[in-house]
Amino acid sequence: MKKKIAFILASVLLGTTLCAFPVSAESYDVDFTCNITGYDQKTSSGCVVVYPNNTDSTRVIGSSEYAFRYAKLLIFDKNGTLIEAGGDLLANENGVYGSPQLTVKIPAGGFMVAYTSGAPSGLSQCYTTAMEGAMLYNATMSVIYPVHGEYNKSTNKLRIAYDNPVAPSKDAIKFLFVGNSTTYFNGIPIKFKGLCQAAGVEVVVDYCTDGSAFLQEFADPSHTRGKKFRSMLNAKKYDYVVLQDAAGAAYNKMEESVGIMLPLIEANGATALLYMRYSNDLDASTRVNSFYKHYRNYSRLADKYDLEYSPVASAFLKCIETAPSINLFADDGGHHSWEGSYLAACTWLYSYLGIDPRGNAYTANLPSSTATTLQNIAYDIAKNGYPYPEEGSANKVIDGVKYDNLSLKKPYTSDGATYSGDWTDTGADGKPLGKFTDGYGTLTAAGSVGECGCYKGQNVNITIDLGKVTSVKQVTTDLFGNSDWGIPSPADAGVKVSFSNDGKNFAEAKALTGGSVSKSDSWEKRDFTVTFSEMQEARYVRVEYTITGKFLWVSEISVFGKDASTVSPDVSEPDTDVSVPEESKEDTSVPEESVPEESVPEESVAPNESIAPNESVAPNESASDDESTPADVSEKSEAASADTDKKGGSTGWIIAAVGAVVAVAAVAAVVIFRKKK
């Protein structure tokens, strides 16, 4: 020990830059030195470059400045502890092709090592060990594996030391995370592991993740990702399997995928959990709706399959509103930042294990005030939820009188032609999915977010069976247009409603009054309403749409009124087969872009799909997280193109002591679960 202290002091006196190991007589399983080829310079083949930060503030350097495209990066703090690793940062010089992360941050007093192919193999082995099986490309991420480093500028030597991994104890809680970059980016599972360790709980995190992956691919036994998922379940027993889908995943496909995956997870002996992903919409006028889309989809899945979920989307929304100075997003504006990943991990901690994140000693090297704010938000949202606006109301006040939404969850038929891509309202059985009466209409003009369904035809009739004769006071619906997608403007559309008691004979149609057209980028929305001075008695309500193009884009039809109990319910059945949808279903997707897969955020790619219904320019060529575009695989002749993770992770030297104090209480809390609504 004295020898090591003397060495440190000598280095300081010599004016060298040295990041030292914690004073310890302990030896390491792996302890090696290698030559440094340069400082603060661009990387090249076989190089080992060191980037010191001898200041009291964070140093930020860019990929384009130092050519990190083919370099692996190891970032150490002022104590010589490895805190971040990654690399292959593709510069974004032309503003189009770039990594989700374009810069790296070196903490005050710390340093970074960049090495390339041909560098000493010990560096690659260190990198692999520290990553603990995490998958990552074109970015760096938090690491907690105990790796220590120091460099001596007078000798141009870099020293790296760590212990080899040891098998987890029999009490370790094993998690398998299934999803895409929304899960693995910036090391959320690693931060979750660090929080658990600080709380005295040992967890193991494994990854079944790929960039831009959809759950439907993991559910598919013939898909490469589906084979990987099944292989991992067959090879190891897990306690929990966490599922996360792509930003543009359609609800009905999410539901179908989870339905396929659940029996496999249960056969493994694990419990399935849901990770409610976030949106990247920061526009104050639309973000609530954008985040609500994910809340709605995951909460509906939780209800259907009786699953627990972690409301990360809601935590992000709460942070954006109450702590706007905290940046939750990475350089690309789509993936999550260091702070965003910590917020997600804190939310997981309470949602999945019932452990209060507040006061947790692991702060992922964030400023204490920032970590505290994020811990508090995660706790509040995971426990109490977020006050989203109500959609699909079961009643409405019209002229001071409350009327029921008689059409909510009711079956209907359509005489429009089936739209066979995403945004379809037709199930595999040929019957409507129920989007038009599921109670989930879009709050904004964005028709791409999944509430909408589509039928083909310039004149389309939707006939709703209310189940018995009722008294109708008001009928409302909406229409969407997008010239870029080939969807006609609702400004030129007409909507009428007619009624019937027998499903055969309908009264003369009444026109609905169209409101003004609202806009969101290239999207248009127009609401239509008709209110009757005298109640209309009917069991069947037919809404007739007349549009100037061939793609009818609607999110909801609502019929408000009262049960007409004085009218005999003994009425004849309609000629058509009116089916009851097993669940309301939604559909959205995201497009492929002409960027290498390794550099594309998952939000921007949909599986095996491209564009939808424009007879000249089909949609689904470019879209953001919450502005996906449609696909129609079967109509190539009508559209311009086809629907195309020895000592566990390191949480710092303080954490081990803190963890021992709280271990008993934390373990007792592990079995606590709450469903967050």
CATH code, 317 = 3.40.50.1110
Looking at residue 96, what is its pLDDT?
A: 60
Looking at residue 564, what is its pLDDT?
A: 60
Q: Domain total for the chain? A: 3
Q: Whole domain around residue 516: which residue ranges? A: 395-563
Question: Over 70: is that where the pLDDT of 525 sits?
Answer: yes
Task: Specify whether the CB–CB gap between 622 and 334 falls below 8 A.
Answer: no
Q: Is residue 629 part of a domain?
A: no
Whether 321 and 444 share a structural domain: no
**Residue 238: both structure tokens together:** 């897990």
Of the chain, the percentage scoring pLDDT greater than 70 comes to 77
Q: Of 93-97, 299-303, 592-596, where does the model show the most confidence?
A: 299-303
pLDDT tens per residue across span 66-120: 999 999 999 999 999 999 999 999 887 666 667 888 899 999 999 999 999 999 9
pLDDT tens per residue across span 51-64: 999 999 999 998 88
Give the Cβ contact number of residue 114 at 10 Å. Answer: 28
Mean pLDDT of 323-329: 97
Looking at residue 391, what is its pLDDT?
A: 52
Helix or strand holding residue 348 (H, E): helix 338-353
d(CA 88, CA 108): 23
Q: Please give the backbone phi and psi of residue 578, each rounded to the nearest 5 degrees, phi first.
A: -90, 110
Q: Please give the backbone phi and psi of residue 467, each rounded to the nearest 5 degrees, phi first.
A: 95, -30
Q: Is residue 610 part of a domain?
A: no
Give the Cβ contact number of residue 108 at 10 Å. Answer: 13
Whether 77 and 107 share a structural domain: yes
Question: Over 80: is that where the pLDDT of 283 sits?
Answer: yes
Whether 142 and 209 share a structural domain: no
Whether 380 and 437 share a structural domain: no
Cβ burial, residue 404 (10 Å; 0-12/13-18/19+): middle
Mean pLDDT of 329-349: 94
Question: Over 60: is that where the pLDDT of 566 sits?
Answer: no
Whether 205 and 314 share a structural domain: yes
Whether 263 and 150 share a structural domain: no
Give the pTM.
0.71
**Residue ending a domain, choose from 111, 138, 162:** 162
Q: Is residue 634 part of a domain?
A: no
Looking at residue 348, what is its pLDDT?
A: 98
pLDDT tens per residue across span 340-387: 999 999 999 999 999 999 999 999 999 999 999 999 999 999 999 998
Looking at residue 248, what is its pLDDT?
A: 82
**Residue ending a domain, choose from 532, 563, 594:** 563
Q: Which residue has the higher pLDDT, 616 or 139?
A: 139
CA angle, 124 then 108 then 13, to 5°:
90
Q: Biggest alpha carbon distance in the chain?
A: 100
**Residue ending a domain, choose from 563, 584, 600:** 563
Task: Specify whether the CB–CB gap between 674 and 351 falls below 8 A.
Answer: yes
Whether 540 and 660 share a structural domain: no
Question: Over 80: is that where the pLDDT of 399 sits?
Answer: yes
Mean pLDDT of 24-31: 78
147-to-51, 166, 211, 441 alpha-carbon distances in Å: 18, 14, 27, 51
pLDDT tens per residue across span 476-524: 999 999 999 999 999 999 999 999 999 999 999 999 999 999 988 899 9
Whether 405 and 351 share a structural domain: no
Mean pLDDT of 637-660: 36
Indicate the average pLDDT of the chain.
Answer: 82
Task: Specify whether the CB–CB gap between 142 and 190 falls below 8 A.
Answer: yes
d(CA 457, CA 242): 41
Whether 149 and 189 share a structural domain: no
